[in-house]
């Protein structure tokens, strides 16, 4: 039975949860398909995550391998394929708790970077798991900056082989998933040397473990890099190569080739490499970031209507903690952000699909903009969502810290997303570089890509809002965001120019402006998110019930941003002090309005209890019962700890000195 405190929240929903879910999924037929996939996976005991919180690193790894192997069988049984519509729901259904994710990247990199011949050789082997691959780029001493990699591949004409080496400890490959224990092969990135000349970083297929007994190949040292904050199920690994020889054909050579005589040939555009990075950055936003944030909101909001604490009015029952303004102010902006980022993801996906079509027509014009948007949004969404999940964790009081709440593992997992696939600060700076360039172009009247045309239309002025209600107008707040973004970008561009004109070297000037540049890039992304949210709401005309609540969330997302960054809006007086008080009032009033629909809004994300895996966040709200039952399953309660006999007993009997 559903806890009455949670049941009552559902009775007062201002909209149809089922309709909102269908809309979020992109249509009712998608919802049906997603539910079918999730059901098929969750019914299968092999995919159970029931004991996950109690397992050791070794057990988690083994379970992930078992699941990955079983998934192959399952897909075959169900008639699902890697290219089928079901595939994107599988990952959601297993909550990413599965091995061989890097194997997939291994295959993708061969498909993108390999010649037809290489594809024909390796892809069938990999699809049948005759070989298990990894993708070894990052080194112990080198991350985001690819040119700095130190692994070497020297071409030996005599034997037509590359000799791979890890010249020093900082050059050791470090972090690649699936490499510590599972992989037999890896795509390793190394500096290519031919006839003593360095040609830069190139990808090579290297066998690291025997296909017979899985032992390491001669010259290869590899293993697991040890415990991390999360990802216990993944064997992130290290790899050291000492005079490891691979045939010439193992260099992925769609774009570059070393011919038998040592001639180096380059063909086609390198730009396509950027496209791969863009793809990965966009694809991680939904699976690795938005979904965890939605889960955290679901858990924290459901728990906040079950948990009661103190009294709001004397003589009454203790109040639900979600009725406290401070609790609403913690959680509801995160909920609004989860929706905002879901919509940004759709926006990027659409843009990306368009870009992909253009590229197939050999038109690379959209690449710079796509690259800038994917970098900036990867950074903004991961950073925002990571802090959002942490806020949810801390908003659940003591129980949030219990692993059984599900929140610690969501948090420790999502926060890795701020680092991988490009460290966020560096990504913001990439976006900033694009913005500065576009701003310069726009100010001299040259054409700029659509997302930055607003930079050309700089109009000075003041925010026209006259009262609190005006700040619920999307045109008013979108304009405020736009104004701020333009101001931050133009002032940073001016600063850069000043420095350069005063004789500071370009790179020094850039470093001296980086703090401002990051701020400008964030403002740009924030503006686009608000604008996109407002436009999404506008398109909802036909769905009146949903439109109203989405409008509230959009307002909240926008006003929360102004409220939390008041300084940048007040600076230059675009928003006056009196107007800022209106913003605050409007913002706080919205909290109370959205509060009423908070539970239906998280219900609409449609996570099953199994996928939440949380004692606090289940649909039925039987929080305390579940917490008690789950705790009893803990190994600490099942196995007799040797600590009592060995240490406590002597201590209690004061015989320790005899030990």
Partner 1 sequence: EALVINDPDFQHEDLNFLSRSQRYEQAIRKSSLMVMKLREYGIADPEEIYWFKSFVHRGRPEPLDLHLGMFLPTLLTQATPEQQDRFFMPAWNLEIIGTYAQTEMGHGTHLRGLETTATYDPATQEFILNSPTVTSIKWWPGGLGKTSNHAIVLAQLYTQGQCKGLHAFIVPIRQLGTHEPLPGITVGDIGPKFGYDEMDNGYLKMDNFRIPRENMLMKYAQVEPDGTYVKPLSDKLTYGTMVFIRSLIVGDSARSLSRACTIAIRYSAVRHQSELKPGEPEPQILDYQTQQYKLFPLLATAYAFHFVGAYIKDTYRRISGDINEGDLSELPELHALTAGLKAFTSWTANAGIEECRMACGGHGYSRCSGIPDIYVTFTPSCTYEGENTVMMLQTARFLVKSYTQVSSGQRVTGMVSYLNDLSRQRIQPQHVAARTVTVRINDPVSLVEAYKARAARLVEAAAKNLQAELNHRKSKEDAWNRTSVDLVRASEAHCHYVIVKLFTAKLSEISNAAVRAVLTELCLLYALYGISKSTGDFLQAGILTDAQITQVNQRVKELLAIIRPNAVALVDSFDFHDVHLGSVLGRYDGNVYENMFEWAKKSPLNKTEVHESFHKHLKPMQAKL
Q: Min. distance of Cβ 319 from partner 1 in angstroms?
A: 9
Q: Is 138 labelled as part of a ligand binding site?
A: yes
Of the residues 180, 203, 355, 561, which one makes contact with partner 1 according to CB under 8 A: 180
Hey, what are 390's tokens? 């942490």
207 binds partner 1, rule: CB under 8 A? no
The DSSP code for 286 is I
What residues numbered 363-402 form the site for partner 1, per CB under 8 A?
390, 393-394, 397-402
For partner 1, what does the binding mask look like between residues 581 and 610, x meaning CB under 8 A?
A: ---x---x---x------------------
* Closest listed residue to residue 609, CA positions, set 299, 400, 339, 366: 299
Nearer of residues 112 and 319 to partner 1, judged by Cβ = 319
Span 433-462, contacts to partner 1 by CB under 8 A:
none
Q: Which of 85, 505, 538, 609 binds partner 1 (CB under 8 A)?
A: 505
Phi-psi region of 654 (alpha: psi -120 to 50; beta: other; left: phi over 0): left
Minimum gap (Å) between residue 351 Cβ and partner 1: 28
- Given candidates 2, 416, 476, 500, which one binds partner 1 under the rule CB under 8 A? 416
Q: Which is nearer to partner 1, 36 or 592 (CB)?
A: 592
- Of 373 and 580, the one with the shorter C-beta distance to partner 1 is 580
- Contact positions with partner 1 (CB under 8 A) in 116-135: 128-130, 132
Helix (H) or strand (E) holding 485: helix 474-501
Q: Say if CB 134 and CB 186 are below 8 A apart.
A: yes
Contacts of 336 (CB under 8 A, 6+ apart): 553, 554, 556, 557, 560, 594
**CB 346 to partner 1: min, Å:** 28
Q: Which residues are part of the catalytic machinery?
A: 421
User: How remote is the C-alpha of 78 from its chain's centroid?
Assistant: 29
Strands 308-309 and 133-136: unpaired
Both tokens of residue 57? Answer: 């690193």
Contact flags string 283-322 toward partner 1, x per CB under 8 A? ------------------------xxxxxxxx---x----
**Is 212 in contact with 171 (CB distance < 8 Å)?**
no
Cβ atoms of 227 and 412 closer than 8 Å: no
Q: From CA 146, how far away is CA 190, in angstroms rounded?
A: 10
Tell me if residue 155 falls in helix, strand or coil: strand
In DSSP terms, which residues pair with 163 in a beta bridge?
A: 154, 245
Q: Residue 358 CB, nearest distance to partner 1 (Å)?
A: 30
- Residues 324-363 touching partner 1, rule: CB under 8 A, are 324-327, 329-330
- Measure the CA–CA gap between 339 and 344, rounded to whole angstroms: 9
Short-list 623, 625, 601, CA closest to 614: 623
**Torsion-angle region of 44 (φ positive above 0: left; ψ -120 to 50: alpha; else: beta):** beta
With CB under 8 A as the contact rule, which of the stretches 153-161, 227-235, 339-347, 478-486 interacts with partner 1? 227-235
Q: How far is CA 11 from CA 15, 21, 267, 653, in A?
A: 10, 17, 63, 59
Nearest distance from C-beta of residue 484 to partner 1, angstroms: 12
Measured between alpha carbons, how far is 106 from 252 in angstroms, rounded to an integer? 12
Q: In terms of CB distance, is 152 or 547 closer to partner 1?
A: 152
Least distance from C-beta 131 to partner 1, angstroms? Answer: 9
Regarding 572 and contact with partner 1 (CB under 8 A), the answer is yes
Q: Does 652 bind partner 1 (CB under 8 A)?
A: yes
Please list every residue from 532 through 571 that binds partner 1, using CB under 8 A: 565-571
Dihedral pair phi/psi, residue 238, rounded to 5°: -115, 160
198 binds partner 1 (CB under 8 A): no
CA 544 to chain centre: 32
CA dihedral for 618, 619, 623, 626, sign (positive or negative): negative
Give CA–CA dist 605/622, Å, rounded: 19
494 binds partner 1 (CB under 8 A): no
To the question of whether residue 177 is assigned a binding role by annotation, the answer is yes
Give whichever of 17 and 380 is closer to partner 1, judged by the CB atom.
380
CA dihedral over 384, 385, 388, 389, signed as positive or negative: negative
Using the rule CB under 8 A, is 69 a contact of partner 1? Answer: yes
Query: Which of 323, 468, 470, 620 is close enough to bind partner 1 by CB under 8 A?
Result: 323
Please choose, from the candidates 110, 81, 307, 285, the residue with its C-alpha nearest in 3D space to the C-alpha of residue 206.
110
Candidate list 4, 26, 167, 227; residue touching partner 1; CB under 8 A: 227
Q: With respect to partner 1, which residue has the nearer C-beta, 441 or 627? A: 627
Closer by beta carbon to partner 1, 176 or else 600: 176
Q: Within 36-55, which residues bind partner 1 (CB under 8 A)?
A: 53-54
Nearer to partner 1, 66 or 596 (CB): 66
User: Do the Cβ atoms of 199 and 193 come closer than 8 Å?
Assistant: yes
Examine residue 620 and tell whether it contacts partner 1 (CB under 8 A): no
> From the list 452, 580, 602, 612, which residue makes contact with partner 1 (rule: CB under 8 A)?
580
Only segment of 1-9, 106-114, 263-271, 637-645 that touches partner 1 (CB under 8 A): 637-645
> Residues marked as binding?
138, 177
> Residues marked as binding for FAD?
138, 177
């Amino acid at each position: 039975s559903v806890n009455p405190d949670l049941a009552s929240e559902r009775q007062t929903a201002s909209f149809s949860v089922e309709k909102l879910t269908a809309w979020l999924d992109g249509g009712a037929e998608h919802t049906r398909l997603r539910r079918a996939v999730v059901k098929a996976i969750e019914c299968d005991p092999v995919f159970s995550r029931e004991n996950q919180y109690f397992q050791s690193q070794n057990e988690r790894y083994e379970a992930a391998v078992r699941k990955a192997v079983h998934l192959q069988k399952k897909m075959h049984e169900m008639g699902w394929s890697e290219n089928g519509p079901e595939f994107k729901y599988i990952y959601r259904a297993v909550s990413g708790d599965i091995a061989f994710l890097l194997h997939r990247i291994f295959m993708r990199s061969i498909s993108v970077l390999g010649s037809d011949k290489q594809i024909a050789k390796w892809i069938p082997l990999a699809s049948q798991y005759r070989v298990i691959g990894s993708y070894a780029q990052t080194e112990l001493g080198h991350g985001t900056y690819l040119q700095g990699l130190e692994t070497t591949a020297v071409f030996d004409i005599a034997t037509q082989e590359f000799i791979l080496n890890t010249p020093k400890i900082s050059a050791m490959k470090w972090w690649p998933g699936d490499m510590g224990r599972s992989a037999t092969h890896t795509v390793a990135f190394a500096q290519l040397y031919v006839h003593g000349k360095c040609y830069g970083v190139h990808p090579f297929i290297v066998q690291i473990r025997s296909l017979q007994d899985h032992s390491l190949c001669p010259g290869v040292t590899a293993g697991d890099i040890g415990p991390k904050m999360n990802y216990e199920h993944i064997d992130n690994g290290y790899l050291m190569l000492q005079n490891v020889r691979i045939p010439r054909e193992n260099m992925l050579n769609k774009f570059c080739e070393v011919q038998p005589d040592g001639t180096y040939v380059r063909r086609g555009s390198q730009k396509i490499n950027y496209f791969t990075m863009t793809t990965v950055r966009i694809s991680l936003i939904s699976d690795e970031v938005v979904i965890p944030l939605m889960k955290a909101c679901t858990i924290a909001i459901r728990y906040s209507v079950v948990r009661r604490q103190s009294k709001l009015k004397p003589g009454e029952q203790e109040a639900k903690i979600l009725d406290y303004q401070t609790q609403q102010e913690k959680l509801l902006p995160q909920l609004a952000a989860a929706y905002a980022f879901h919509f940004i993801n759709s926006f990027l996906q659409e843009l990306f699909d368009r870009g992909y079509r253009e590229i197939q027509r050999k038109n690379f014009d959209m690449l710079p903009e796509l690259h800038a948007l994917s970098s900036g949004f990867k950074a903004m969404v991961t950073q925002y969502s990571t802090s959002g999940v942490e806020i949810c964790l801390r908003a659940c009081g003591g129980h949030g810290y219990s692993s059984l709440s599900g929140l610690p593992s969501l948090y420790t997992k999502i926060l890795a997303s701020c680092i991988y696939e490009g460290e966020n600060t560096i990504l913001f700076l990439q976006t900033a570089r694009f913005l500065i360039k576009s701003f310069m172009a726009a100010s001299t009247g040259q054409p700029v890509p659509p997302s930055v045309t607003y930079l050309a239309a700089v109009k000075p002025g003041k925010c026209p809002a006259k009262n609190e209600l005006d700040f619920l107008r999307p045109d008013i707040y979108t304009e405020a965001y736009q104004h701020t973004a333009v101001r931050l970008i133009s002032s940073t561009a001016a600063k850069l120019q000043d420095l350069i004109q005063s004789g500071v070297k370009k790179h020094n000037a850039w470093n001296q402006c980086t703090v401002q540049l990051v701020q400008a890039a964030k403002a740009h992304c924030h503006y686009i998110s608000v604008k996109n949210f407002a436009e999404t709401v506008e398109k909802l005309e036909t769905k009146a019930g949903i439109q109203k609540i989405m409008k509230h969330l959009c307002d909240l997302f926008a006003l929360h941003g102004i409220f939390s960054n008041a300084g940048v809006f007040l600076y230059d007086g675009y928003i006056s002090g009196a107007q800022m008080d209106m913003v605050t009032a409007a913002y706080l009033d919205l909290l109370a309005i959205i509060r009423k629909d908070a539970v239906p809004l998280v219900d609409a994300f449609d996570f099953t209890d199994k996928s939440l895996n949380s004692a606090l966040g289940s649909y039925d709200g039987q929080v305390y019962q579940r917490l008690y039952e789950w705790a009893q399953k803990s190994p600490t309660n099942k196995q007799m700890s040797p600590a009592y006999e060995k240490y406590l007993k002597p201590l209690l009997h004061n015989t320790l000195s005899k030990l």
